[in-house]
Structure 1
Amino acid sequence: MDFFGDTMKVLGHSLDYAAAKNNTISANVANVDTPNYKAKDVTFQSMLDDAFESEMKAKRTDPRHLPFDDEGNTYKIVERKHTAYNHNGNNVDIDKEMAELGKNQIYYQSLIDRINGKFRSLENVLKGGN
């Protein structure tokens, strides 16, 4: 029985994204002085796809076509190329990374708060609404 519909699945994917973003930012900060290190970003590829999923179902007409299911990561880690902020070829901007870390922490906490709210609602129902 699915109590929350797809909500917990979406929140779980969002938490995976936030964790990957946090790990990527941590790696960038750890390599701020590493020569020729190129900073990495996490992109959330399927946000638009998820928003229109219920209205725009894709049909696979050939088994060689890519599937349109929800399996796998909804994000991708990409390297920031063709820039160098430091004399050693490194392109990590520590101020940008720390700002991104703060935004990601707020995002992660809001997801946790939403999950907690879902479980509090379930707990309230199980206790009889008291």
Structure 2
Amino acid sequence: MGLFEGTIRTLENSLDYATAKNRVISNNVANVDTPNYNAKEVVFKHVLNDAISGSFEAKRTNPKHLPFSLESSSHAYQVRTLNNTMYNHNGNNVDIDKEMSELAKNQIYYQGLVDRLSGKFGSLQTVIRGGR
């Protein structure tokens, strides 16, 4: 197992997700007054459900473990356009209050990930220095 596999790789993927979500939210906010603009969202649960419904196969370290597999995809999330609502008379469906709330939640999530990643690198630095 490599040095940056496991927790650090998971944190990296989570930061990618949070960055994509921030980009989509920012784009929605920027287009709040654009006629016929359909809001977009980043979804993870949909991708997870698709992966679960597929076939799983992984290394089993114990015969009592359940067999499963997961074919890796380039992204663990998708950007989806919301077409089923309309909030403004000009065909725009961006709800600015919802977008600002999602932006605040995503910023807190992102900062938590950055803090955790910083802690992991701090631990590595301590190990490299020999515990000092």
Per-residue Cα deviation, 1:20-78 (whole angstroms, up to 9, x for no partner): 0000001100100001111000001338969x9875522xxxxxxxxx33340000000
Partner of 1:112: 114
Q: How many pairs are equivalent? A: 120
Q: What is the aligned partner in structure 1 of residue 40 from structure 2? A: 40
Q: Map 1:92-107 to 2 at 5 A.
A: 92-107=94-109
Q: Equivalent residue for 1:30?
A: 30
Question: After TM superposition, what 4+ stretches of structure 1 lie above 4 angstroms from structure 2?
Answer: 47-50, 52-56
Deviations 1:77-120 (A, max 9, x none): 00111210011110101111001000000111111111101100
Residue in 2 that maps onto 1:19: 19
Amino acid at match of 1:91: N
Provide the alpha-carbon RMSD of the alignment: 2.4
- Give 1:82's aligned residue: 84
Shift in alpha-carbon separation, 1:56–1:100, aligned structure 2, 3 A: farther
Counterpart of 1:11, as a letter, is: L
Partner-residue secondary structure (3-state), 2:43: strand
Secondary structure (helix, strand or coil) at the match of 1:2 reads coil
* Structure 1 pair 48–121 and aligned structure 2 pair: CA distance change class (3 A): farther
| Structure 2 portions without partners, runs of 5+ | 59-65
What's the secondary structure of 1:29's corresponding residue?
helix
Question: Percent same amino acid at aligned positions?
Answer: 55
TM-score by length of 2: 0.80
